[in-house]
Chain A
């Protein structure tokens, strides 16, 4: 009858801390037998050796497959219990902990029976959630294929060498077909690297000769699909056809390109050069003697680039001293940037005739024919240096323009600094593959040696993953999103929303095929699942159904003035627990349900809560963008809450019944203030009238949120906050909001009409309009489109057409 679900309820007294405020025996007797709870146990401290022994013994003896604990914080204690219970095949999702200590016993002053009742409510919710849990074990992958090194950067060669040394195959996509070509392009991308040309030649020779490396030159990226362990890269062959190459993972090695510097404004044809031209001129013999002044300019590009320019100037100076003794290098660098040498070595360099002068960056140096004037940072006096050749810094090119294909197909984005991965900060023990592994100066300005180091590090990451896979310990996290292929319509909304890169791209031209999610990449934030218009996505081991059951169970215990709260597992939950440690108290009217991320909450859960008895909802999340651990979960929640507010308004209720708050984990005081403020606000409102009329309106709101069209429009508004534009032609927030409002009104009216026609009644338009209190003309219009959609059928009987719901076949 209950699918073999055996839940054990364990109540921890925590050394009388909990027992002093709550009646644990009473809670146990009331919950025993509910939602799969087959036994109730209590202990003074489950965290100590004796308690752990009791827990393990009970789980083993009773063959429990769900463990519900009424104790303290799951953030702290769950790991310890997991350590004991893993060997009984219990997964992390099968243990649910309700924080009786920090959410009830320590923070409320209410009488014992009230707190006992509240504890019962929260535990009943968790039991209902466990009852709905369908355990899915983590997935393992093979990790045998070659590593695909894309992007054509220098760090890719170092990665390839490191992989070859470790006998791991790799396929390198390079711009160059021979080591010589590769060397030329490489030297151009890292000014000042000519000093290391011999080492680089050796590296390239190694890579081109290595048996484990395949080099494919000139293959633009066409598409990328697949998942960790099995990626398929579509590349355009020279004849235009697309070849598919598979590999186990992808290393992205991209170098930044440089454009000529300030030359056009300076002029001085032939004698004012940038670093690359200088190297060319030296090699061709155009410069044989005289003074070469390296002027490190380009303040606008930031300190990092200036440091790179100084390193380039320094390396080139050394190169000149070594190879061209008649050329005298001088470096003119801004005072804020350090020279890549110590004081002692500078003495040595001076002996070798490299001169270096700092200039005050506040006063821009002035270039004249043959001289450059600068102001010394110490004496504030103008000085002049004579030049025969002036070398200015190269200008970095923006990345987004040069590598649009990579940015489109890989989960990376480019900002003004360089290529970045979407910020992902989940628990370290959940380690999703840090993919794609990126290296090279495109991420952040760096010199050649750093780029090579990054390449090596990237290769070692791939090797580590292979080792993990061979050990069999390369398992996906438990709570990841999965797509029901039968329900998925292939609309691609999830792909737009996903920040972790787990929702796979599909091949261009394949049409609306069902999406797949890579469990090894998914962070389990679940905002995509909550946005899916067709309900095809689901967070495994942490589904919407579980949350819905939990909310229902908690609401059924709530009184009229109570507030349903959702707490983000990182920000608000931490703050609420810290509030207890810091001895804050607040009203017991808040029934807090911790969730992983607020983004996981499907909008229908909010409407369901209002429909089923909740009068007020507080959503406590973390601070947007900066600290959301799942990209933009809390931002997405904002749009859902906003939509719910609209629906409340349209149902004749106060918009303030639902509110979103932001709190950081180290701000318990903020959490308490937030709760008290919301509670004082809701005190001004009356409980929702639970009459027939009001129920119908809320039911219409609830079914509106189930409509794919509504969910699509809502989903489209969940863009990443970095994107300045909204989808479609809408350019600004108000316009887009009006579109949402329009769709919402249409769908809401349609839902109300369907609600009015419930059962077998046939009504004519004036009757429906009367029942809804709307103007007949609006209702007739809506009825027209409902008939077109097939949601309502129409029969004509004079003088009016009669509408009714289609009968179930």
Chain B
């Protein structure tokens, strides 16, 4: 067992677990979008950012990926964390104004849409890749993946065509934090070749 301080209180956690794991187990809430208990964390949304003091210096880390160490001090709601989280949320909410979930978290932190708000209300995908990981690890196939890089990065199927590998398990729909998978799901899913409809 490793002992550490979170927001001044002493908590214990297993070696190898992340700060987020330990915090959540101890009832300390840290906001996340791209975290699911069933999947390996990927640190994509950065919302879980916390401040860590390891005795030498203060660092901002993604708590879902940062493994706990003996004696570190973690601050989940310090001024610096709140500021960083504010800007992360500001960018998320401006980039994806159509997402209910992002607005909800942003609202809790008092973040409003700015003048730089995107006009595209349909695109609610934050490219966190949870669906891609779920497809690979839970469903055991790779029918969806990332394509392109930078601003053009998107989740899609091979050649942008309906995926014959997709078994339609719907795991991606379930894990998607912003309900953006719905649009892609209809596109991805290729119904099994139907023999014929039911006869009367």
Chain A residues with a Cβ under 8 A of chain B:
15, 44-45, 47-51, 53, 73, 75-77, 79-80, 413, 415, 420, 423-429, 570, 574-575, 577-578, 581-582, 624-627, 629, 635, 638, 665-666, 720-724, 732-733
Contact = CB atoms under 8 A, between A and B. Distances in A.
Contact of B168 (A47, A51, A415, A425): A425
A733 B38 contact: no
B10 interface: no
B195 A413 contact: yes
A420 B192 CA distance: 12
A48 B21 CA distance: 6
B193 A420 contact: yes
B177 to A, nearest CB: 10
A720 B38 CA distance: 38
B182 A428 contact: no
Contacts of B196: 625, 721-722
Main secondary structure of the interface of B (DSSP, over half): loop
Given A666-B185, A722-B195, A722-B196, A49 B169 contact: no
B195 A45 contact: no
Given A45-B24, A666-B182, A627 B191 contact: yes
A629 B167 contact: yes
Interface residues of B, number: 44
Given A426-B167, A578-B170, A49 B192 contact: no
A732 B17 CA distance: 64
Contacts of B14: 49-50, 53
A425 B193 CA distance: 10
A520 B30 CA distance: 46
Contacts of B24: 15, 44-45, 48
B13 A425 contact: no
Given A48-B21, A570-B168, A625-B198, A578 B173 contact: yes
A292 to B, nearest CB: 37
Contacts of B182: 666
B192 A666 contact: no
B112 to A, nearest CB: 23
A582 B199 contact: no
A574 B173 contact: yes
A626 B191 contact: yes
Interface in B133-152: 134, 137-141
Tell me which of B16, B37, B137, B193 has the highest count of chain A C-beta atoms within 10 A of its own C-beta: B37
A427 B38 contact: no
A427 to B, nearest CB: 6
Contacts of B55: none
B38 A626 contact: no
Contacts of B194: 423, 625-626
Contacts of B22: 49-50
B191 A427 contact: no
A732 B199 CA distance: 10
Contacts of A44: 24-25, 27
B200 interface: yes
Contact of A76 (B29, B134, B186): B134
B175 interface: yes
A424 B175 CA distance: 25
Contact of A50 (B21, B38, B167): B21
Nearest to B195: A722
Contacts of A47: 37-38
Interface string B33-45: 0001110000000
Contact of B195 (A415, A425, A665): A415
A734 to B, nearest CB: 9
Contacts of A724: 199
Contacts of A426: 167
A638 B197 CA distance: 14
Main secondary structure of the interface of A (DSSP, over half): loop
**In the A-B complex, the 8 residue pairs with the closest CB atoms:** A47-B37, A49-B17, A665-B170, A423-B192, A574-B170, A429-B140, A722-B195, A428-B140
B37 A45 contact: yes
Given A48-B25, A666-B185, A76 B138 contact: yes
Contacts of A625: 194-198
Nearest to A81: B38
A76 B174 contact: yes
B174 A427 contact: no
B70 to A, nearest CB: 16
Contacts of A582: 179
23 contacts: A47-B37, A47-B38, A48-B21, A48-B24, A49-B22, A50-B25, A413-B195, A423-B192, A424-B192, A425-B192, A428-B140, A570-B168, A574-B173, A574-B174, A575-B170, A578-B174, A626-B192, A629-B192, A665-B170, A665-B173, A721-B195, A721-B196, A721-B198
Interface in B150-200: 165, 167-171, 173-175, 179, 182, 185-186, 189, 191-200
A49 B18 contact: yes
Given A423-B193, A425-B167, A626-B191, A50 B17 contact: yes
Contacts of A638: 198
A73 B174 CA distance: 9
Contacts of B17: 48-50
B192 A627 contact: yes
A4 to B, nearest CB: 31
A48 B27 CA distance: 13
Contacts of A48: 17, 21, 24-25, 37
Contacts of B29: 15
Contacts of A575: 170
B169 A75 contact: yes
B200 A733 contact: yes
B162 to A, nearest CB: 13
Given A47-B38, A49-B21, A429-B140, A624 B167 contact: no
A733 B25 contact: no
A770 to B, nearest CB: 42
Contact of B198 (A428, A578, A624): A624
Contacts of B173: 574, 578, 581, 665-666
Nearest to A719: B199
A428 B142 CA distance: 10
B168 A665 contact: yes
B199 to A, nearest CB: 6
B151 to A, nearest CB: 28
B167 A428 contact: yes
A15 B27 CA distance: 7
A663 to B, nearest CB: 11
A50 B13 contact: yes
A53 B12 CA distance: 13
A660 to B, nearest CB: 12
B17 to A, nearest CB: 3
Contacts of A721: 195-199
A232 B95 CA distance: 62
B104 to A, nearest CB: 11
Tell me which of A48, A625, A627 has the highest count of chain B C-beta atoms within 10 A of its own C-beta: A48
Contacts of A423: 192-195
A234 to B, nearest CB: 28
Given A720-B195, A723-B199, 13 more contacts: A50-B13, A75-B169, A76-B138, A76-B171, A76-B174, A423-B192, A423-B194, A423-B195, A427-B139, A429-B140, A625-B195, A625-B197, A626-B192
Nearest to A721: B198
A79 B137 contact: yes
Contacts of B199: 721-724, 733
A569 to B, nearest CB: 9
Given A50-B13, A77-B37, A577-B174, A665 B169 contact: yes
A425 B200 CA distance: 25
A428 B134 CA distance: 13
A500 B191 CA distance: 17
Contact of B171 (A15, A75, A626): A75
A479 to B, nearest CB: 16
Nearest to A627: B191
A374 B174 CA distance: 56
Interface in B63-93: none
